[in-house]
Amino acid sequence: MSPIRIIIAGTIIALALGGLFILRPMLEVASGYAAKMACSSVFVSGRSLEDVLSRELSGYSYLSTEINEADRLAQSSFGPITSVAVYRPSLGCVLVKGRTQEELQAESIAQPPMEETLIRIEMRPNLQQAIEDYVARESLRTRAVIVSRNNAILAEAYGDGFTSDMPHQGWSMTKSMIHALAGILVASGQLDPDAAAPVAEWQDEIDPRNAITVRHLLTMTDGLDFSERYSPPSDVTTMLFNHPAAGTYTAHRPLAHTPGDHWYYSSGTTNILSRIIGEIALKNGEHPAAFARRTLFAPLGMESAIIETDASGHLVGSSFGFATARDWLRFGLLYFNNGIVGGQRMLPDGWVYDARTPTAGSEGMYGQHWWLNDPERKFSPREAGLPADAYMAAGFEAQYVIIIPSQRMVIVRLGYTPDEDSADISGLANVIFTALDNERPL
């Protein structure tokens, strides 16, 4: 080869390597997302890889994403950059980060007895037809809708290819589950919401983060410098898809604001709270996921429900909760019934009220790990058709558990709607109230 060709070839290789170095953080997050999404969708939800590639991963065709059925894992690669996620029964999928694949696959939890909690069925034909028509609108990409009133299901419908026994990822609806788990610990006297947050990284007396309380975490007024920006690489995408310990990642973030002075919606904050919950469970000799199942899911009869853990073994409470539509409804009914299930109080008296109370600085939009229906919709117009007292667990791509006390109603809406405003939640509310004999809220 001539010297000039050697120089040109060397230049091309150098540029390629340099470009790969610059793009590496983004590609690591992207491959982590693809591997984790493929693993959870196939092994937790029971979907086909082809379906996931055509929907959630349609924008990731530059990655090579594969499923290994025998080893129950997913792998996604771009050249030398590879991410692997492995499945564990009752624990879901986890990215192989910080621990070996063999160590992660060996994890398991005990299965506590599950309560049988049947939900009354009082189908309303007019509403059922209206909900089926709503779900059939292809532009909405709806996967499930359930409407309940007075603890009874009035209508239930599923999108093509989705069934009543398929667990759906709730994304940030999982945050509201963490609120419930924190409440269970408060009720048992193991967690004081007004005490300093028990985070090892903040214990130095000169560390200003030692002023952060558990309630600051619940209201997302902790003041930590964290970016809830979803284009990779950012704090939230790196934490979820390229780090072995989500809570630890955020615990190392510095302060940007005095605790209590500034509201900012942060998945990182929830994962610190998740780690606190998990550490209390571990002190009691219980895996964090086993604690969630025993204290929350089993009493509610949420057989399908899991919150996946990260490689550190802690719940990824910001994002990785899965449940069938009916089990998401069971969770909503816990709050609809003021924290009482089967005649027994599960959540502290006032815990649901706190969840619905606007946090200062959120402009009426946020309580404690639950979204509120700010009548002016400063955040988004998508829920404008809901009654003013509605509050909701809400997740990425328009996942909703909506509680409407004035109508004695809980609504579950699950789907894949990247443009969340196009999910037409206001339209769904109109469909429901029109079908129910024009029983519109005042």
Instruction: Kindly report the CATH number assigned to the domain that includes residue 303.
Output: 3.40.710.10
Q: pLDDT band at residue 13, thresholds of 50, 70 and 90?
A: very low
**Inside any domain, residue 115:** no
Residues 125 and 88 in one domain: no
Domain count, the chain: 2
Measured torsion, CA atoms of residues 180, 252, 235, 75, in degrees rounded to the nearest 10: -80
Rounded to an integer, the average pLDDT of 270-293 is 98
**Inside any domain, residue 269:** yes
pLDDT of res. 421: 73
**The pLDDT of residue 6 is above 80:** no
Q: Whole-model pTM above 0.75?
A: yes
Identify whether the C-beta of residue 276 lies closer than 8 Å to the C-beta of residue 197.
Answer: yes
**Inside any domain, residue 254:** yes
**Inside any domain, residue 110:** no
Domain stops at, among 72, 105, 138? 105
- Look up residue 341 and give its two tokens: 């299930």
Residues 13 and 158 in one domain: no
Residues 352 and 418 in one domain: yes
pLDDT of res. 377: 59
Identify whether the C-beta of residue 269 lies closer than 8 Å to the C-beta of residue 226.
Answer: yes
- Torsion-angle region of 93 (φ positive above 0: left; ψ -120 to 50: alpha; else: beta): beta
Domain stops at, among 105, 130, 145? 105
Residues 80 and 130 in one domain: no
Mean pLDDT of the chain: 92
pLDDT of res. 171: 98
Rounded to an integer, the average pLDDT of 402-407 is 96
- Look up residue 215 and give its two tokens: 């309630």
Instruction: Tell me the residue range of the domain where 27 lies.
Output: 3-105
**Inside any domain, residue 264:** yes
Domain stops at, among 105, 135, 152? 105
Give the percent of the chain with pLDDT over 90.
83
Rounded to an integer, the average pLDDT of 27-32 is 96
**Inside any domain, residue 192:** yes
Residues 194 and 263 in one domain: yes
Rounded to an integer, the average pLDDT of 245-271 is 98
Give the percent of the chain with pLDDT over 70.
92
